[in-house]
């Protein structure tokens, strides 16, 4: 057995321990038919990423599960990897090139991609290194990247399959467009930000009815250049007579129809809605139902195009001002109403997104959504907490076709080729040598790349070698649990489920464990703009990874947001110190006696009590972890270690440790070591570093706690009678301590304790445990009897259900000193009472002072009077 350092220093041990784990390949999983597999796929962080608190929480939860299952004997694979993050990375590369004086527009695609791969090689591993500092025990030997050869092969395979099945098509639909990045973006990349705007109320003249108008309200007047109708609700009595009539679209001076559609909410605004199918997703659907033309009035850079007439070339916001001014001059602007609304912005460049109709690649979702819905409804997939299943179903049941093409250079290129001569399109994994229609040998690949979510949707199986039937794929797939935040259920979780079922015939995992966001101490979302972000790496450097991990899991409940407090980090570090110091104390005493021949018969009541408590803890923590209640599991181990083991049991056995040669000494040492080892194992998934360091110094039988067996409860450790007896004695100790505290008696002041009980069994229990009871109850002597015979009348009592403890008053308190103290207190109170009564009897004070000041003074007077009464009663009793 080695010795632990005097103080716990996480910065000294954590790197060393992690290197050892990596060297020993403890994280590595192999196909092993003799063991049951357990698989988690890591949500791949972006290669642009820097570890933030969301990553820290997400990966801590995964690490807890994988370490737990590994110790339970599963072949546990935590499959790691990173995501190419198409837009985020392209933005970073462009910014990086600008610092070198290079513009993207001056590069060919191949030149740009060369820079992008260089950037990935330099920065792509940064977040992986940071995850290692957190203690993540992922199988780094199997690390994947969404654009590596195997994952790219899977992407092409799925694209071809879906295209040949008719699920992938190219067509014009409404998409989110970023005018700065000049690409379509997914819903996941659109942040809805509260912005101050306006409702512009505009009159559209009714053709042929001089002086008659309909009034519409819009937040985007510039899009009226592309209006093709005005819609009203078919049940709106106000407008039934104008349905089918024509309106004159102001400025554009063309006629557009009034249509009836249930999409319109007759209670909102004027009940008349301008319909611009090329610039609004809801209008697009209305336009399809009524065969309306789609008129796009915007260029890719957010300027007005030729369809905008005289406004062509103007920026969208510049055009808005000009259009509003013209409407006002025409007398058609009714009013402008301030309006705060959620505006879609691109999460990368913060530009306001434009909904535009564009020719893009789409995935038809109707058929693929059905088995994903059935998976949840039929119980093959579950969410923790369950209520997130409703979110999942709501989105799937209203799903639209998915736009999968992006106008970027970084990413998976769409495997479609066009003939330079006749325009024939060929979808193929490899570039065709000639056009199948005209025989031309010049074929050009589609310039677009695939949405990043298209490749990450395949992550649970592409990382295991699919489409090849690799041993890893056949053994580790389907995976078991996906751990992720509630903010990407729609965009990633759902896509993995329908992709997994479509391509493999199986759900990619059986459980989705949802966690919330990590917020600041005020409950605000961490953001750069607020300046309230907390760098987990700084926390690790100062307090250690264990302290950060424990803080993130303390009080954590699935699906709920949590607040981050530095006070909690310090409490977590204090807990690590507590275990460290308790372990040092135990190890310093282990050489005193051999524990080789200790049997359960040698154990005392206290030993049996702590074993019983430990047994219950093992069962409860295992059950909590199986139910993904990690916060509850951690709290139970914390309470047991700090209170039951350190504050009670170690204090109980100290007198036995100092009694050399006594058989009870060996039993105490055996119990201390045994319970400490079980506690360390239960704590290991949560705080892996400190538990490993102690474990490896405490025993020599196993080389690492990581590969030791998870504790299992033992029937022979259930001592119900002894547990009940010690709990009764603990109750007696607590009662004594409460009385002493109320009398301000310091722990150093010992007193005789009489234990009185008519129950012979109770007296016997106290008799057998006099030694530790005396230590914990601050007694210099413990006398056990059936009645109060011989106990002084002024003895102070502490009452429990089965016994009453008496302590002679004179032994607790120095009467002369206490009288002196109380007389000083009485004199002080007399002064305060005089002052307070004087103020409250002063008419000038009562008439001029604020009501709250008078009430405050009255409350003080009541408090002084009550305290004076107590002091005088106490003095009278002492002077007797």
Q: What is the pLDDT of residues 40-75, one digit of tens each?
A: 999 999 998 888 888 999 999 999 999 999 999 999
862: alpha, beta or left? (left if phi > 0; alpha if psi -120 to 50):
alpha
pLDDT (tens digit per residue) in 720-774? 999 999 999 999 999 999 989 888 889 999 999 999 999 999 999 999 899 889 9
What distance in Å separates the CA atoms of residue 18 and residue 5, rounded to the nearest whole number? 19
Per-residue tokens: 238 = 């106000």
Give the CATH number of domain 722-812; options: 3.30.420, 1.10.10, 3.30.2320, 1.10.8.
Answer: 3.30.2320
The model's pTM: 0.86
Residues of the chain with CATH 1.10.287: 816-879
Beta strand residue intervals within 504-570, DSSP E:
511-515, 518-519, 562-563
Per-residue tokens: 510 = 């059986």
Quick check: 758 and 786 in contact, CB under 8 A?
yes
Q: What angle do CA 145, 39, 636 make, to 5 degrees?
A: 120
What distance in Å separates the CA atoms of residue 462 and residue 454, rounded to the nearest whole number? 12
Phi, psi of 629 (to 5 degrees): -95, 70
Residues of the chain with CATH 3.30.2320: 722-812
Q: Which CATH class is domain 538-718?
A: mainly alpha
pLDDT (tens digit per residue) in 386-403? 999 999 999 899 888 999
Asked whether the predicted pLDDT for residue 815 surpasses 80, the reply is: no
* Residues with Cβ within 8 Å of residue 560, at least 6 apart in sequence: 516
Confidence of residue 350 (pLDDT cuts 50, 70, 90): confident
Confidence of residue 524 (pLDDT cuts 50, 70, 90): confident
Which residue in 87, 151, 158 sits closest to 363, CA to CA?
Answer: 158
Confidence of residue 500 (pLDDT cuts 50, 70, 90): very high
Which residue in 61, 69, 60, 83 sits closest to 29, CA to CA?
Answer: 69
SS3 at position 361 = strand
Residues of the chain with CATH 1.10.730.10: 538-718
Per-residue tokens: 391 = 């979110």
Q: Please state, rounded to an integer, the average pLDDT across all residues of the chain.
A: 93
Quick check: 185 and 349 in contact, CB under 8 A?
no
Confidence of residue 641 (pLDDT cuts 50, 70, 90): very high
Phi, psi of 362 (to 5 degrees): -130, 155
Q: Is the peptide bond before 189 cis (omega within 30 degrees of 0)?
A: no
pLDDT (tens digit per residue) in 543-573? 999 999 999 999 888 888 888 889 999 999 9
pLDDT of residue 563: 87
Quick check: 682 and 571 in contact, CB under 8 A?
no
What distance in Å separates the CA atoms of residue 652 and residue 603, rounded to the nearest whole number? 13
Q: Is the peptide bond before 820 cis (omega within 30 degrees of 0)?
A: no
Q: Which residues of 228-240 are buried (b: 16+ CB within 10 A; e: fewer)?
A: bbbbbbeebeebe
Beta strand residue intervals within 104-187, DSSP E:
144-145, 168-178, 183-185
Strands 37-41 and 779-785 come out as: unpaired
**Helical H runs in 234-357?**
281-290, 316-329
- Give the full edge-to-edge strand order of the sheet including 443-445: 425-427, 416-419, 443-445
Instruction: List, as one string, the DSSP characters of 155-178.
Output: HHHHHHHHHHTT-EEEEEEEEEEE
Q: What angle do CA 471, 475, 481 make, to 5 degrees?
A: 135
| Residue found by looking up tokens 């893009």 in the block | 360
Report CA-CA distances (Å) from 670 to 494, 595, 666: 52, 6, 6
Q: How many CA atoms lie within 13 Å of 280's alpha carbon, on the beta-carbon side?
A: 20
Architecture of domain 183-355: Alpha-Beta Complex (3.90)
What distance in Å separates the CA atoms of residue 207 and residue 215, rounded to the nearest whole number? 14
Q: What percent of the chain has pLDDT over 70?
A: 99
Residues of the chain with CATH 3.40.50.620: 31-166+365-413+448-515
Q: Which fold has domain 816-879?
A: Helix Hairpins (1.10.287)
What distance in Å separates the CA atoms of residue 50 and residue 569, rounded to the nearest whole number? 21
The greatest distance separating any two alpha carbons of the chain, rounded to the nearest whole angstrom, comes to: 121
pLDDT of residue 529: 64
pLDDT of residue 1: 59
Q: Which fold has domain 31-166+365-413+448-515?
A: Rossmann fold (3.40.50)
What distance in Å separates the CA atoms of residue 252 and residue 482, rounded to the nearest whole number? 53
pLDDT (tens digit per residue) in 778-813? 999 999 999 999 898 888 888 898 999 999 988 888
pLDDT of residue 818: 75
Is 817 annotated among the ligand-binding residues? no
pLDDT (tens digit per residue) in 844-880? 888 888 888 999 999 999 989 988 897 888 788 777 7
């Amino acid at each position: 057995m080695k010795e632990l350092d005097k103080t716990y220093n996480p910065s000294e041990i954590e790197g060393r321990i992690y290197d050892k784990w990596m060297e020993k390949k403890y994280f590595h999983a192999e196909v092993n038919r003799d063991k049951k597999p357990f698989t988690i796929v890591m949500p791949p962080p972006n290669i642009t990423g820097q570890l933030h608190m969301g990553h820290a929480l997400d990966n801590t939860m995964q690490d807890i599960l994988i370490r737990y299952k590994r110790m339970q004997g599963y072949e546990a694979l935590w499959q790691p990897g990173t995501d190419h993050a198409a837009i985020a990375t392209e933005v970073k590369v462009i910014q990086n090139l600008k610092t070198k004086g290079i513009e993207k527009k001056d590069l060919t695609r191949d030149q740009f991609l060369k820079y992008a791969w260089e950037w990935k090689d330099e920065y792509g591993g940064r977040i992986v290194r940071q995850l290692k500092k957190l203690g993540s025990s992922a199988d780094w030997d199997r690390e994947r990247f969404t654009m590596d050869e195997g994952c790219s092969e899977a992407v092409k395979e799925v694209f071809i399959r879906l295209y040949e099945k008719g699920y992938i098509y190219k067509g014009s639909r409404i998409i989110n467009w970023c005018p700065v990045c000049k690409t379509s973006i997914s819903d996941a990349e659109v942040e809805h930000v509260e912005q101050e705007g306006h409702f512009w109320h505009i009159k559209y003249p009714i053709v042929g009815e001089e002086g008659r108008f309909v009034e519409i309200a819009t937040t985007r007047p510039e899009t009226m250049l592309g209006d093709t109708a005005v819609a009203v609700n078919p049940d709106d009595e106000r407008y039934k007579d104008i349905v089918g009539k024509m309106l004159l679209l102001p400025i554009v001076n063309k006629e557009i129809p009034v249509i009836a559609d249930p999409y319109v909410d007759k209670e909102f605004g004027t009940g008349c809605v301008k319909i611009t199918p090329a610039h609004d997703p809801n209008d697009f659907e209305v336009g399809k139902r009524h065969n309306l033309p789609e008129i796009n009035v915007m260029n890719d850079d957010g300027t007005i195009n030729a369809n905008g007439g005289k406004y062509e070339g103007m920026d969208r916001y510049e055009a808005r001002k000009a259009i509003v001014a013209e409407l006002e001059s025409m007398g058609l602007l009714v009013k402008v109403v301030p309006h705060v609304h959620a505006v879609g912005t691109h999460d990368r460049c913060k530009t306001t997104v434009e909904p535009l109709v564009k020719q893009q690649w789409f995935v038809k979702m109707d058929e693929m959504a059905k088995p994903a819905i059935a998976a949840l409804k039929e119980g093959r997939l579950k969410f923790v907490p369950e209520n997130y299943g409703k979110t999942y179903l709501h989105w799937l049941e209203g799903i639209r076709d998915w736009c999968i093409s992006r106008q970027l250079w970084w990413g998976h290129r769409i495997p479609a080729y066009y003939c330079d001569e006749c325009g024939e399109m060929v979808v193929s994994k490899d570039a065709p040598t000639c056009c199948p229609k005209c025989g031309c040998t010049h074929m050009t690949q589609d310039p677009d790349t695939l949405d990043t979510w298209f490749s990450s949707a395949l992550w649970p199986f592409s990382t295991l070698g699919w489409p090849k039937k690799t041993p890893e794929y056949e053994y580790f797939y389907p995976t078991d649990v996906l751990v992720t935040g509630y903010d990407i259920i729609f965009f990633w979780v759902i896509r993995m489920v329908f992709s997994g079922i479509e391509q493999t015939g199986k759900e990619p995992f059986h459980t989705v464990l949802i966690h919330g966001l990590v917020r600041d101490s005020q409950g605000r979302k961490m953001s750069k703009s607020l300046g309230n972000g907390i760098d987990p790496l700084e926390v690790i450097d100062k307090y250690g990874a264990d302290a950060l991990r424990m803080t993130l899991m303390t009080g954590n409940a699935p699906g709920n947001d949590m607040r981050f407090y530095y006070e909690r980090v310090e409490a977590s570090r204090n807990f690590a110190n507590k275990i460290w110091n308790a372990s040092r104390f135990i190890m310093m005493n282990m050489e005193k006696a051999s524990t080789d021949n200790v049997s359960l018969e040698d154990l005392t009541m206290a030993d049996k009590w702590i074993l019983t408590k430990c047994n219950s803890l093992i069962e409860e923590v295992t059950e909590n972890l199986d139910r993904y209640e990690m916060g509850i599991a951690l709290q139970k181990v914390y309470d047991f270690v700090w209170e039951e083991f350190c504050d009670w049991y170690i204090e109980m056995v100290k007198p036995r440790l100092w009694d050399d040669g006594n058989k009870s000494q060996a039993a105490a040492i055996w119990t201390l070591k045994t319970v400490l080892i079980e506690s360390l194992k239960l704590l290991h998934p949560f705080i892996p570093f400190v538990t490993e360091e102690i474990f490896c110094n405490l025993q020599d039988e196993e080389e690492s706690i990581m590969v030791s067996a998870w504790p299992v409860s033992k029937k022979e450790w259930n001592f119900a009678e002894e547990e009940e007896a010690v709990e009764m004695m603990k109750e007696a100790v607590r009662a004594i301590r409460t009385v002493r505290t109320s009398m301000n008696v310091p722990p150093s002041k010992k007193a005789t304790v009489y234990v009185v009980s008519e129950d012979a069994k109770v007296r016997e229990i106290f008799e057998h445990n006099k030694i530790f009871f005396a230590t914990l109850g601050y007694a210099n002597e413990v006398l056990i009897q059936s009645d109060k015979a011989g106990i002084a009348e002024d003895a102070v009592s502490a009452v429990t259900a089965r016994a009453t403890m008496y302590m002679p008053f004179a032994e607790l308190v120095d009467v002369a000193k206490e009288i002196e103290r109380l007389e000083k207190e009485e004199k002080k109170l007399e002064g305060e009472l005089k002052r307070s009564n004087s103020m409250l009897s002063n008419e000038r004070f009562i008439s001029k002072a604020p009501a709250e000041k008078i009430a405050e003074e009255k409350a003080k007077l009541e408090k002084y009077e009550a305290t004076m009464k107590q002091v005088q009663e106490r003095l009278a009793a002492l002077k007797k």
